Amino acid sequence: MNNKAVVIREKGCIRVETIPFSPLPSDYIRAKVYRAGICGTDIELFNGTIPYLKTGKIFYPIIPGHEWAGKVVEVGSKVKNFKKGDKVTGELHLGCGFCDNCKQGKYNVCLNIKRIGIGDLPGALASYLQLPENM
């Protein structure tokens, strides 16, 4: 199983590359991506105008894409709420679950937030995507 992905190597430089799979963590799912959208954030990543690049919060290379739909093809050993064949879509924000904001249900303003397709976690402009079950 090959994972082809769109990779923004640097400002204005985008390629389709084969990306090796990393081992699937026990609390993650792997999904086959059937549809992915391109939004303004992805354009900012390509153009190099997203503020996170200027502040040093994220770096190239980046696999963009956070609007997607697909089907589960593999589940980690500790995954409880998904099974192979489930149709899924994901959330952009991954909260830590431990900070005060997360405990109040405000994971989108988590103090340790990670975002899919915006430099923290590989995005959905790929054949397959690995995400934590809670995302």
Q: Where are the domains of the chain?
A: 4-132
| Average pLDDT, integer, range 82-109 | 91
- The percent helix, strand, coil of the chain (3-state, each to 5) is 15, 35, 50
* pLDDT-based confidence at residue 107 (cuts at 50, 70, 90): confident
pLDDT at 1 over 80: no
pLDDT at 60 over 80: yes
Q: pLDDT at position 117, please?
A: 92
| Average pLDDT, integer, range 58-70 | 95
**Residue 23, SS3?**
coil
Q: pLDDT at position 90, please?
A: 82
User: Does the pTM of the predicted model rise above 0.95?
Assistant: no
Residue 76 and residue 133 in contact, taking contact as beta carbons nearer than 8 Å: yes
| Average pLDDT, integer, range 96-107 | 91
* pLDDT-based confidence at residue 133 (cuts at 50, 70, 90): confident
* pLDDT-based confidence at residue 24 (cuts at 50, 70, 90): very high
CATH superfamily membership of 4-132:
Medium-chain alcohol dehydrogenases, catalytic domain (3.90.180.10)
Residue 79 CA from chain centroid, whole number: 18
Cα separation, 105 vs 95, whole angstroms: 9
